[in-house]
Each structure stands twice: as structure tokens, then as C-alpha cells.
Structure 1
Amino acid sequence: MRLSIFPLTGALLYPGLQLPLHIFEPRYRAMVTDALARDRRIGMIQPQRPEDDAPLFTVGCVGKIADVEALEDGRFNLVLEGESRFRLLRELDVITPFRQVEVELLEEPPFQALSPIERAGFEREARRFAEAQGYRVDWEAVTTLDDCSLIDGVSQIAPFDAAAKQALLEAPNLAARCELLVQLMQFFGRRDSDEGRVTLQ
């Protein structure tokens, strides 16, 4: 599969979830215009470094433009809906201002669910992490989410570094992602005693 890509550090997308984007750079405005004229699909993938033409991580997610607002000055507000994770095969030599790649779609394991013990362990660690970081969470709403929406949703918005978020995206199944997410919350969840921030120390 050939994809136009939007390489953006820290912005991950998962199948079944949504990602709002504000598109303002000319090259990515051209990418959106091109996607709208074709199949409305672009690939979200992280660069390994936050610079132009940096090497890419190997796994990303195909997003379909579900909602679009074209602004008068050429910018766009988008909502992408995640369709499928993909593995990068190679970057293509193109004349477009935006990068394009060849990918293979990754098959997701069917009917994924956590065991009651896994779910309870995750929610317990999430409460500790949220309390330590001062986040307000509607825990009643959390209990109504299905396992995929919960684990993938937290993985998508978690305040971890790019490498940690990439490891979550690359996890082979829901149980592995949940286990890694718990480990990362424990690892990143300690407060710096002086500045009150997430720290690796």
C-alpha cells in the first residue's frame, strides 16, 4: 500500500480511535488536498528525531479523514479515524512536497479482551498515576469503556516520550500493550521532589 505520511512526534493514532489535527504547513496542506481528491487516507507515523527528513519509526497507523474544515487561508482542521496499523517497508522517491511510503498493513488479533485481573490491575495503576500527576479523571466513565478503547485511548494520549509511545503502538496485542502501559506508568509516574514533574530518575 502506498501512503502519504504526516510524520509528527508524539501524535499517535490507533485503529478505532480519532485524532484531531490542525494543518497549517504548506506541504501538509498539499497532502490533505491530495488525500481529499483520492481516498481521504494518510499515514500517521513518528519520526525518530524532530527534524525534516529524519528517519521514521517502522510502525504507524492509517487514518481516514472523517471530518474536515477548510479555512479561508488554506489551513485545515481535521479529524482522522484510525483504520489499521502498518509496517513501513520503504520510503518512496517522490516529487511531492510531502513524504510518501510503501507499507504493509498489520493484522490485528480478533476479539481482544483483558482478563478481569489485568483490567483491575490496570485501573489500579492508572488511579495511582493520575493521583501522583494531579490529573482529574472521571473514573465512572472509565469503567464503562471496553478494554480496547481504554488501553488504546490511554496509550494514545499518555504523557510519555516518543520512544515509549512508539513501543506501545508496536505492542503485538492488547494484553501486551496493557502490561507495557502499567510498566510505563510506574516508570514515569514518580514525581520530582523539587519541581513536581514526571521524571525518569
Structure 2
Amino acid sequence: MSAAYRKIGDLPLVIPVFPLDGALLLPGGQLPLNIFEPRYLNMLDDAMSGERIIGMIQTRPGGDHQRPSLAPVGCAGRVTSFAETSDGRYLITLTGVCRFKAGDELPTRTPYRQMRVDFTPYEADLREEPSGARTAADIDRLLIALRRYLDHRGLAIDWGDAESAPSDALINSLAMALPFDPLEKQALLEAETIFERKATLTALLEIDAAGGDDDEPTSIQ
């Protein structure tokens, strides 16, 4: 986690939110984004002049196209990489800081949405887990399910990296990178602990590998 955020009190009470279905940010994870809509360019301008915090959140049924209803839980990230293209787009990387419960939306004049958020239920996100907290056996079922999922979909990864990665980093990177649907991404986000996220991820991999059509071969970065 960022040294700037060691406790809940270090985080802002109101943050801009970026509704984006299928995009999952987890604490400690890195999410690259290509920003081109004017309202979100405005949001980045404001964020970069302030605390550089943006809340990634998915939508849920309800509301309208311009202001859809928002999921109850999102994840705040800090802009840790920023570049501007010649055609005016922003290429950024958000590094996940802490999940939050969505609160009241503020009636603001900004073109982007802002809301009060509560980080308290996810204070543990600010504490790094001790290394070696899980054994290799903990990850065996996940790796078996992952191999079947990848074979079924015609996907490929670097197995050397996957098998040598710390289990929590592997779990979070797979949760963010694999092409799950928005409801499945939300379930992974809301898993209370890394152990619960591993169980959810393993179940999703096993269910997917059990049926459906293969995708075209590709690779996962």
C-alpha cells in the first residue's frame, strides 16, 4: 500500500467516482485506463491537482444511461502514472488503495459524479499481509482450475510466473485480468478476505471450464 495511507483517517471522505463495468481494481493492484470522455478528463484534471484519488465502481440495474445506479462497494485508487497523448487522451495507471462502501452522492456542478464513502469496513486493506502466510498447498486447487479454464478458453499465460508468484498477488491479478462478467467481478471485489476471494475465484474458474464455447486463442498479460 501507499505510505501516504496508513490508516482510514488519511483517506478523503468524498471522492470522485468512475463507473466502469467489468473493470476491477483491488487494493495493491494496478489498473491501466485510457481516458477520453470530456467529463472524465475533467475528473482527472481535478484529481491531479488534489489527492489523486479516484473511486472505481461498477453499475447495477436502475437509473439512466448518463447516471446509472451504482454498486454498493467500490475501490479507491491513486493515480501513480499519468501521460497525455497528442490527441488529448490521458493514459493513467490507478494503484488500488482501499475498498469502500458507497454512501450518498453529492449534488455537485462537476460533470463527473462524487460521493461520500466509508472505508471503515475495509481498513484491513491498508495493512499488508505477512509474507509466507499461506502454503503452496493453499493454491493447488486454484492452479488446477486455472489450467482447465485457460485450456477451455484457448488462453495462455506464463506458467513460470504464475507458479512462482505469491499466492495473494496471483489471486488478485487473476481476479482483475480474467474476462469475468460484471457481477462476477463484483463478487470478487466484495470477498471479505483473500481466502474468500480465492474460493470465489476458484469456483468461477471451475464453473466456466465446465461448459460454454471456447474463445479465440489469446494471451493474458
Aligned length: 196
Q: Give 2:23's aligned residue.
A: 11
Which of residues 171, 196, 201 is equivalent to 2:214?
Answer: 196
Q: Match of 2:124, as an amino acid? A: E
Q: CA deviation at 1:197?
A: 4.7
Which of residues 79, 83, 104 is equivalent to 1:69?
Answer: 83
Normalising by structure 2, what TM-score? Answer: 0.83
Q: CA deviation at 1:131?
A: 1.1
Question: What root-mean-square deviation, in Å, do the aligned CA atoms of Structure 1 and Structure 2 show?
Answer: 1.9
1:157 aligns with 2:177: yes
Give structure 2 stretches of 5+ with no counterpart.
1-12, 217-221
Measure the CA separation in 2 of the matches of 1:52 and 1:145. Answer: 40
Superposition pairs of residues 40-189 of structure 1, within 5 angstroms: 40-49=52-61, 51-105=65-119, 106-108=122-124, 111=129, 113-189=133-209
Measure the CA separation in 1 of the matches of 2:124 and 2:179. Answer: 25
Q: CA deviation at 1:93?
A: 1.1
Q: Give structure 1 regions of 4+ aligned residues with deviation exceeding 4 angstroms.
A: none
Normalising by structure 1, what TM-score? Answer: 0.91
Q: Give 1:38's aligned residue.
A: 50
Give structure 1 stretches of 5+ with no counterpart.
none
Deviations 1:97-128 (A, max 9, x none): 00001101122265274443331111111111
Q: Give 2:35's aligned residue.
A: 23
Task: Decide whether the 8 Å contact of 1:114 with 1:175 is kept in 2.
Answer: no
Q: Match of 1:4, as an amino acid? A: P
Q: Match of 1:196, as an amino acid? A: D
Measure the CA separation in 1 of the matches of 2:99 and 2:165. Answer: 21
Task: Decide whether the 8 Å contact of 2:154 with 2:214 is kept in 1.
Answer: no
Task: Decide whether the 8 Å contact of 1:191 with 1:197 is kept in 2.
Answer: no
Measure the CA separation in 1 of the matches of 2:20 and 2:179. Answer: 15
Q: Match of 2:26, as an amino acid? A: Y
